[in-house]
Chain A
């Protein structure tokens, strides 16, 4: 079953603009991870944020986590054409990987040059 739900399903913006994607989930989690997938290929790990963290940065990426609202957001600043991909949030319920990661259906991001 899907734990995370990304919003929007698709997003098209101009190069240089910021892109924001949201993820909501249903149950308590240990951590939440964001991944990128290019053209139906393997997933690239972007950021892991633990349940006791509120914000993390990595380069042009900023992730927030609000456990009271069971939601997370991924912000990509100064977008580039190479950022065109599908972005998934994945929740880890236990932290030990015992249940695998539960993924949402993803946001398809298109950066127009």
Chain B
């Protein structure tokens, strides 16, 4: 069974530009999560999509947005890039276990560098 995939692996952008990151969940998973891992800040929850809808977001400005497609793949868009957006962006997908406890399975990440 294929795991969570992300593209691109690396992305270099200039301050002020927009970045688009993509994620394909494990087959059968309907929930997709995005996390940012910035140096010194650790892993922080960004966004949660389930069944095509944004369900929750972490403490990030609106220029971080995304969507989930009918096939449950997801896209993260970061507008008006700032230098501090440089980070590893991780996508995770999940499937509900009994008792509504979820394990999240992570992709390899996209490393975004803003210059």
CB contacts (< 8 Å) of A106 on chain B: these are: 42
Indicate if B33 sits at the interface (CB-CB under 8 A). Answer: yes
Number of A-B contacts (CB under 8 A): 73
Indicate if B2 sits at the interface (CB-CB under 8 A). Answer: no
CB contacts (< 8 Å) of A102 on chain B: these are: 45
Indicate if B48 sits at the interface (CB-CB under 8 A). Answer: yes
Of A18-26, A71-79, A88-96, the segment with at least 4 beta carbons within 8 Å of chain B is: A88-96
Considering only residues 65-115 of chain B, those with a C-beta below 8 Å from chain A are 88, 90, 92, 94, 99-109, 111
Indicate if B16 sits at the interface (CB-CB under 8 A). Answer: no
Q: Do B102 and A97 touch across chains, with their CB atoms under 8 A apart?
A: yes
Give a binary string over B50-67; 1 marks a CB under 8 Å from any A CB, 0 the rest.
Answer: 000001101100000000
Give a binary string over A36-74; 1 marks a CB under 8 Å from any B CB, 0 the rest.
Answer: 000011111100101000000000000000000000000
- B6: nearest residue on chain A (CB-CB)? A42
Report which of B45, B56, B90, B94 forms a contact with A43, defined as CB distance below 8 A.
B90
Minimum C-beta distance from B43 to chain A (A) = 4
CB contacts (< 8 Å) of A97 on chain B: these are: 31, 33, 48, 94, 102, 104
Give the complex CA separation of A106 and B37 in angstroms: 12
Residues of B within 8 A of A (CB): 4, 31, 33, 35, 37, 42-46, 48, 55-56, 58-59, 88, 90, 92, 94, 99-109, 111
What are 21 sample pairs from A and B whose C-beta atoms fall under 8 A apart? A31-B101, A35-B106, A40-B109, A42-B107, A43-B90, A45-B105, A45-B106, A50-B99, A50-B101, A90-B43, A92-B101, A96-B102, A97-B33, A97-B102, A100-B56, A100-B58, A101-B33, A101-B43, A101-B45, A103-B42, A106-B42
Q: Which 7 A-B pairs have the closest CB atoms?
A: A100-B45, A103-B43, A43-B106, A42-B108, A97-B102, A105-B42, A42-B106
17 further contact pairs, Cβ within 8 A, besides A44-B106, A45-B105, A100-B45: A31-B101, A40-B37, A42-B4, A42-B106, A45-B104, A48-B103, A92-B101, A97-B33, A97-B94, A97-B104, A99-B45, A101-B33, A101-B35, A101-B45, A103-B42, A103-B43, A105-B42
